[in-house]
Amino acid sequence: MKRIGVLTSGGDAPGMNAALRAIVRTGLSLEMEVYGIRHGFEGLLEGEIQEMKWSSVGEILHRGGTILRTARSKRFHEEKWQKHAVNILNTFGIEGLVIIGGNGSFTGGLKLAEQGVTVMGVPGTIDNDLGYTDFTIGFDTAVNTVLDLISNIRDTSSSHERATVIEVMGRHCGDIALHAGLAGGADVILVPERPVDFNAICKEMLRGKHAGKGHNLIIKAEGVDIPTQELTQKLEEMTGIDTRAVVPGYIQRGGSPSQRDRVLASLMGSKAVQLLYDDMPSRAVGISSGKIISCDLKEALEMERDFAQNMYDLAVLLS
């Protein structure tokens, strides 16, 4: 394979730039030409494609976001636009494509793969919601960002002897809540994978209060099926404890990637290019038990994510 393309798609994630740097520089060292596609699938449809050089990805390793920009493309769901994208790739002579993104981006990639394009998926999303890989790029940074928030909120929450519900991102996956909750010593962790038991939450809040605890931290994943404001009011009514809601939102998606995300992104980005170089059919790159792996793109998308019940139980035990 001589000429490859790369795009970032869907929600940005810290470490996407590190992955891009690895893709471009690995490709160039294998004597490939690497083309950057701006604005995800939208930019592909518009032919926003330019050649990347070694220096094009200088000074980006430490930067959050994506220098290629990203987008969510509605029209790419339609077959006529998928065909149009294939034509554009052919026009530019791009033989293989690396897609850095999450679930939706991989699904788009699979559509192109079904039309004969070789597509390598690199998991870039803070959500950690892809079943075939233990971790996605951006997740570690997002969890660390939430941890910083928890520590700030803990100060003010303790001073006022309040409870705080912190709503974290993750779409339908509770991993950000679970990891940040365990690492941040949350009193209650609410994830979409487990039902909400109001009585149990209230008991925990009151137990903390009577044990002389100054604060109560409740981490709630956004995918939990009750609006955060409603939950907050209900808990305040049920316990009589002053309860506030905090929704950090996009703060979790920005920021300089952690060491872990930079290393993961570099390893995964490089692996994706190596797979193209080796003329492998479409695959998704991941990490399993500490090793960089790859599996068939379609199978990767079909794999269900295991919920870390042991981690959840431990968080409950230690709270």
CB 48 within 8 A of CB 37: yes
- Residue 144 Cβ, how far from ligand F6P at the closest point, in Å? 16
- Return the range that interacts with ligand F6P (CB under 6 A); candidates 22-30, 164-172, 235-243, 303-311: 164-172
- Return the range that interacts with ligand F6P (CB under 6 A); candidates 28-36, 165-173, 177-185, 283-291: 165-173
- Residue 34 Cβ, how far from ligand F6P at the closest point, in Å? 26
Nearest to 164 by CA among 206, 213, 216: 216
Residue 12 and residue 21: Cα distance in Å, rounded? 15
User: Closer to ligand F6P at the Cβ: 129 or 236?
Assistant: 129
> Is beta strand 283-288 parallel, antiparallel or unpaired with respect to 243-246?
unpaired
- Residue 280 Cβ, how far from ligand F6P at the closest point, in Å? 27
Residue 14 and residue 251: Cα distance in Å, rounded? 11
- Residue 4 Cβ, how far from ligand F6P at the closest point, in Å? 25
- Tokens 């002053």 map to which residue? 242
Binding string to ligand F6P for residues 49 to 78, with x set by CB under 6 A, is what?
A: -----------------------x------
- Residue 251 Cβ, how far from ligand F6P at the closest point, in Å? 11
Q: Is 220 in the site for ligand F6P (CB under 6 A)?
A: no
Q: Is 170 in the site for ligand F6P (CB under 6 A)?
A: yes
Alpha carbon distance, N-terminus to C-terminus of the chain: 53
Q: Which of residues 78-117 bind ligand F6P (CB under 6 A)?
A: 102
Query: Could you tell me the CA-to-CA distances from 310 to 78, 168, 226, 313, 317 in Å, in that order?
Result: 41, 21, 24, 5, 10
Q: Which of 33, 42, 95, 127 binds ligand F6P (CB under 6 A)?
A: 127
CB 13 within 8 A of CB 126: yes
Q: Is 125 in the site for ligand F6P (CB under 6 A)?
A: yes
Q: Angle, to 10 degrees, between the axis of helix 259-277 and the axis of helix 16-29?
A: 40
Catalytic residue among 12, 127, 140, 261: 127
- Return the range that interacts with ligand F6P (CB under 6 A); candidates 43-51, 123-131, 186-194, 284-292: 123-131
Q: Which of 49, 57, 120, 126 binds ligand F6P (CB under 6 A)?
A: 126
- Residue 314 Cβ, how far from ligand F6P at the closest point, in Å? 24
Q: Which of residues 229-268 bind ligand F6P (CB under 6 A)?
A: 253
- Whether 127 is catalytic is yes
Indicate which residues carry an active-site annotation. Answer: 127
Where along the sequence are the contacts to ligand F6P (CB under 6 A)? 11, 72, 102, 125-127, 169-171, 222, 253
